[in-house]
Amino acid sequence: MKPKVAFFDFASCEGCQLAVLNCEDQLLDLLERIDLVEFREALSETSARYDIAFVEGSVHREEDAERLRDLRERSTILVAMGGCANTGNVQARANATAPAVHLERIYGAEARDRVLTDTEHWKLWAHTRVRAIEDVVAVDYVLRGCPIVPADFLHLVTRLLMGSKPRVERYPVCVECKEAGNRCVFEQGGTCMGQLTWGGCEAVCVSHGYHCDGCRGLLPEANLGAHRVLLRSTGMSDADIDSRYALFCATQSKAIGSNS
């Protein structure tokens, strides 16, 4: 029988699922080898069990965590797909600020006071904490990026269908900048997260005149202490540096704190 494959989403823009759909011709070939049983972006069918479950998005509420645990129990292989699933992405920055402060910033003081006295609705705010998928359940494989690189998805699925492990290259974005012939962002007077960030994106942001913001997450061996010194030398304050690290990697704060 064909392996049952499913896609699920939590808090995200669903851009990683759109990246999968953009595989187009390759995806049509793949569909001949799998049984796609759930994919909200493309079909309405459901299933009780999954051989491979791709999960996009971060977890915000306990009810979402319970749903994720249920998916984990019903899945043989679970893949965290994209920056939201792997690091909490930009929404995880909310963890550093009290929920009541967010409430006031978004809706104003009057609405904040009204919600604070509404026990039912306040619970939705007071107990919200953004988590990466691996903070809730065990993850078998990871697809990095915001959004993911379609070639990474095709490689992972093909390897799994062959019964072998996907190949994961472990190097920073800087390696791909060198391969692309890019001039270093720091040499141009800017700042960059490329030294700390998982490669695999072909340095697409730097190659198009921007800089790396770290959407693929921090490498385990990244030397944040040295990088912090480098950023300070450009005139950045510690507060600005912390904000830069937290843009995509807020749930990796233990690594950030231990290398300060």
40 with 140, same domain: the answer is yes
Instruction: Indicate whether 167 belongs to any domain.
Output: no
- Rounded CA Rg of the chain: 20
183 with 218, same domain: the answer is yes
**The amino acid at 187:** E
Mean pLDDT over the full length of the chain: 91
Which is higher by pLDDT, 238 or 253? 238
107 with 188, same domain: the answer is no
82 with 153, same domain: the answer is yes
Residue 31 phi/psi, 5-degree rounding, is: -65, -15
213: left (phi over 0), alpha (psi -120 to 50) or beta: alpha
CATH, residue 30: 3.40.50.700
pLDDT value at position 197?
Answer: 97
Helix (H, G, I), strand (E, B) or coil at 168: coil
Question: Across residues 175-182, what is the average pLDDT?
Answer: 97
pLDDT higher than threshold 90 for residue 254: no
pLDDT value at position 256?
Answer: 56
Instruction: Indicate whether 168 belongs to any domain.
Output: no
Instruction: Quote the longest CA-to-CA distance of the chain.
Output: 60
For the ranges 79-83, 152-156, 239-243, 253-257, the lowest mean pLDDT is seen at: 253-257
Mark which of 118, 140, 162 sits at the end of a domain: 162
CB 199 within 8 A of CB 173: yes
Question: Across residues 116-127, what is the average pLDDT?
Answer: 72
Structure tokens at 68: 């994720």
| Nearest one of 216, 215, 213, 174 to 195, comparing CA atoms | 174
pLDDT value at position 45?
Answer: 65
Instruction: Indicate whether 254 belongs to any domain.
Output: yes
Rounded Cα–Cα distance for residues 4 and 150 (Å) = 20
Q: State what percent of residues in the chain have pLDDT above 70.
A: 93
Sheet of 35-39: strand order equals: 35-39, 4-9, 50-56, 75-81, 141-143
Residue 219 phi/psi, 5-degree rounding, is: -65, 140
Burial pattern 50-87, b for ≥16 Cβ within 10 A else e, equals bbbbbbbbbbbbeebbeebeebbeebebbbbbbbbbbb
158 with 188, same domain: the answer is no
DSSP string, 177-245: HHHHTPPPTGGGT----TTTBB--STTHHHHTT-----TT-B-TT--HHHHHHHHHHTT--HHHHHHHH
CB 167 within 8 A of CB 142: no
Using alpha carbons, list the distances in angstroms from residue 91 to 157, 185, 246, 249: 28, 26, 10, 10
Number of domains in the chain: 3
Task: Please state the pTM of the whole predicted model.
Answer: 0.90
Question: Across residues 104-119, what is the average pLDDT?
Answer: 86
pLDDT higher than threshold 80 for residue 128: no
183 with 231, same domain: the answer is yes
pLDDT higher than threshold 60 for residue 232: yes
Q: Domain of residue 109: give its range.
A: 97-126
Q: Mind listing the pLDDT tens digit for each residue in 49-77?
A: 999 999 999 999 888 999 999 999 999 99
Burial class (CB in 10 A: 0-12, 13-18, 19+), 8: buried
Number of helices and strands (H, E) in the chain? Answer: 13, 5
